[in-house]
Structure 1
Amino acid sequence: MLVEHLPPESATKTEIRNAVGADEVAAHGEYRPDLGQWSATEMMLAAIRDELMLSRYVAIAAAGGKPPEFHPTPRPGVPPTSAQRTGGGMTDEMRRALDPRLREQPMEA
């Protein structure tokens, strides 16, 4: 009962998280960051780092450069599906249909 109310960064909770094996996390089958090796604070720091990296890539692209491909910070207990794109994204025709400002733009080759 007392352990449930400890902060996630406490030594006891950290030891409990470290005792959970990767096979047990994979067998659970759903997103459970509380079964990972990081506390909520560390997960937040990883999210902040990802946002900073994305901002950097946007600044490079806005200046006319070609930023490297973005890879999110790997997080234990969280499957890396956010890094994998499925479906290929939107085509130019789809973008033109959604945004009337693009309809007058010349087609790119």
Structure 2
Amino acid sequence: MNIATGTLNKLQGLERLYRQGFHSEIIDRTIDKLLDMESHRARKEQRELEAHLAAYESQYQISSKEFYRRFRAGELGDEMDFVEWSIFYELHRVILERIEVLGTSTQ
């Protein structure tokens, strides 16, 4: 069993306990703290990715969204800058999804 599977099994076990009426302030505070820490880490990563995207947008005078659409449509070449830019754009989308999930988890 890998670490992710083990963690998921533990979380599912806690969910079962909580659905049965179990409650622990220690677990509640710990989970809140973990989610808060992960949210801060994700937002830091978001800012770093946005700095990379802004640099490419400035250099090529096009938004990342428009660049990505054109890149995926094959309208642009496959030079290294474009490949890197597309990777940063995809990572940025993933991190925004993670932040959204973490935000709903902490509410």
Report the TM range for the smaller structure's normalisation: 0.3 to 0.5
TM-score norm. by structure 2 comes to 0.34
Higher relative CO (Cα under 8 Å, sequence separation at least 6) belongs to 2
TM-score norm. by structure 1 comes to 0.33
Which structure shows the higher helix fraction? 2
Q: Over alpha carbons, which structure has the higher Rg?
A: 1
